[in-house]
Structure 1
Amino acid sequence: MAVGRNGINGNFRGKVGSVVGVELNGQQVLRGLPRKRTSPPTEKELLNRLKFAVSQRWLEPLTDFLRIGFKGYQPTYQGFVAAKSYNQKNALESDGNGGFLINPELALVSCGTQPLPLTTNISCAENQELIYEWSTEYKGEYNDQAMLVAYDIENGRVFYDAGAATRNSGTAKLKLEKRHAGRTFHLYLAFIADDRSSKSNSTYLGSVVVI
């Protein structure tokens, strides 16, 4: 059964015969019922499934941050789905052994139009505190914020702060826990307006071993 909206010619949600109506990102979408497949997947399909799985696994720990970083990527295409599409096209590489990996240097965790700083620097204090620094030649709004991401890819752990400090301050810190000492974290930096109306691409700052 389906529920109609705006009369018989309007949108509907639910199942009518072999058609299912759903709303996706504000758009009405009609789908046919799935059919049981009898033929085996082709080599190309298996390859695409592998790429999909690698991208999914790499990005999944970042899901909460990607909802911010890729918000508004396209009117009907944003968040995790948009991030997976971008990174699968631009950061997925062969691992040399028949598989694939996401190159963290090419990956984006935020996408936008604000300019990035000309210079950046990272360091780690002895109390598991990551220190991000950047140049402040770009004078945006006084309350533009720095967004920090630290990603332990090996263990699938992500720490972030989407409003760590003002952009004009040129520095911000991200405190980790003592138990993360000795682990390698890949660091990203991006910027966002206080009202979330604009943001920058992320920039990859490199990796550090937490001490």
Structure 2
Amino acid sequence: MARITKGILGGFSGKVGTVVGANWRGQDIIRSIPKPNSRPPSERQLVQQTKFKLVISFLQPVKSIQAKYFGSGSGSRSRVNLAVSYTISEAVQMVGDVAELMYNKVLITKGDLTGFQNVTATPQAGNGISLNWEDNSAQGNVDATDLASVICYCEELESFEIFESVAERNVLTAGLTLPATYAGKEIQLWMFFHNAKKTLACNSAYLGSLTLI
């Protein structure tokens, strides 16, 4: 059953005959109901489905970050759409029938803000991580008040820990502590800067994998 929301000439939601009405990204749209397809998917389609499932599951916990800081959403493609598309095409490889992420190619954020210079991460006792970077305040569109955020992912636990706005750019160092469940685990690490207004970010920097102590 369809529901007309703006009068007889307005948008509607629901199914009418062979069409479906909906409001998407603020616009009323009507689309035809897809015809059933009895043909089995091709090998290429199966590969894409496998990659898509992996990427959607992996990126879900950072979706709110990418909605603000991944590229520039326009038209029918949101920033989250762009992040998914990029990750599928650039950061996933097939090993036999298994899709695997290439963490060094994953981008959590993508933008025009100047990023880090020589950033390093060192494990510390008690599930801690010490982060250090060099001063690049004279480069590009840098501001001393840009804020650093850290994304940690443990493949074994299939879990993220997100530390937002841990330090300003000009501090040049930050420290964080992960929960006890991460003790002795290998984690993948990314960092990014965003400006104080939260309108611009840099491409996230992949800091590699490290084992907590």
Length-normalised TM-score, structure 2:
0.87
Match of 2:13 in 1: 13
| Offset at residue 197 of structure 1 (A) | 1.2
Gaps of 5+ in 1: none
Match of 1:200 among 196, 199, 202: 202
SS of alignment partner, residue 44 of structure 2: helix
Taking structure 1 as reference, are residues 116 and 83 closer, same or farther at Cα in structure 2, changes over 3 Å only?
A: same
Whichever residue aligns with residue 179 of structure 1, its letter is T
Distance 1:175 1:64 in 2: 22
Match of 2:31 in 1: 31
Match of 2:183 among 162, 181, 184: 181
Is 2:102 the partner of 1:100?
no
Distance 1:210 1:163 in 2: 22
How many residues are paired up?
209
Identity over the aligned pairs, expressed in percent? 25
Taking structure 1 as reference, are residues 64 and 182 closer, same or farther at Cα in structure 2, changes over 3 Å only?
A: farther
Whichever residue aligns with residue 70 of structure 1, its letter is F
Match of 2:114 in 1: 115
Where do 1:9-158 residues align within 5 Å? 9-70=9-70, 72-74=72-74, 76-95=76-95, 97-138=96-137, 140-158=142-160
Whichever residue aligns with residue 115 of structure 2, its letter is L
Query: Is the 1:25–1:77 Cα contact (8 Å) retained in structure 2?
Result: no
Query: Is the 1:151–1:157 Cα contact (8 Å) retained in structure 2?
Result: yes
SS of alignment partner, residue 118 of structure 1: coil
Distance 1:65 1:151 in 2: 15
Whichever residue aligns with residue 87 of structure 2, its letter is N
Query: Is the 1:115–1:138 Cα contact (8 Å) retained in structure 2?
Result: no
Distance 1:168 1:3 in 2: 55
Taking structure 1 as reference, are residues 64 and 153 closer, same or farther at Cα in structure 2, changes over 3 Å only?
A: farther
Distance 2:146 2:23 in 1: 34
Distance 1:200 1:99 in 2: 31
Deviations, residues 19-77 of structure 1 (Å, cap 9, x unaligned): 11222223333222243332222222222211212222332343344334337444543
Distance 1:24 1:134 in 2: 42
Distance 1:64 1:198 in 2: 14
SS of alignment partner, residue 105 of structure 1: helix
Length-normalised TM-score, structure 1:
0.87
| Offset at residue 101 of structure 1 (A) | 1.0
Q: Structure 1 stretch 103-112 or stretch 135-144: which is displaced more?
A: 135-144
Distance 2:34 2:203 in 1: 38
Gaps of 5+ in 2: none
Whichever residue aligns with residue 193 of structure 1, its letter is N
Whichever residue aligns with residue 19 of structure 2, its letter is V
RMSD: 2.2
Match of 1:166 in 2: 168
